[in-house]
Amino acid sequence: MSTQTKKDQAQDHMGRAKDSASQAADKAKEGAGGALEHIKDAASQVGQAAGSAASAAGQAVGNAASNLGQRAEDATAAVGRGMESLGERVRQKGPESGFLGSATRSVADALENTGEYLEDKKISGMASDLTDLVRNNPIPALLVGIGLGFLLGRAMRS
């Protein structure tokens, strides 16, 4: 065989090797692309599952807070009914005339009125009333806050 024929055969083998390598690289790219798509799909599914779990957890916390708030409102109304009942009992059991009768009626009225207020307004209404009170009287509210802070500080130090 001549040198030229050997060179031609070598080049032919190199060409086939390049083609085979190119085809192998293309198949590897296709496989990698498919794997990448699977990874993207899996990541998307994980992200959706995490979003759903976070949403469910947020909803559960919101429901628990709402339930707790409703229980507090119900408890406040129950305290109000209890105070009204106590006011009625004080009125029935206390003296009816004289100085003690007047004091008994005043205490009974105060208990009944406070009980009605608590039963009607509950916590949310009381918070609204307190907000309105502070808005309408900011200076006295500030002074009361400072005074309470001072007294609390003194009590904690002792």
Tell me: pLDDT of 24 over 80: no
87 contacts 112 by C-beta, under 8 angstroms: yes
Rg of the chain over Cα atoms, rounded to whole angstroms, equals 41
Domain boundaries, given as residue ranges, for the chain: 3-157
Share above pLDDT 70 across residues of the chain, in percent, rounded to a whole number? 70
pLDDT interval class at 150 (50, 70, 90): very high
Tell me: pLDDT of 3 over 60: yes
pLDDT interval class at 147 (50, 70, 90): very high
What was the pLDDT predicted at 95?
A: 84
124 contacts 73 by C-beta, under 8 angstroms: yes
What was the pLDDT predicted at 65?
A: 72
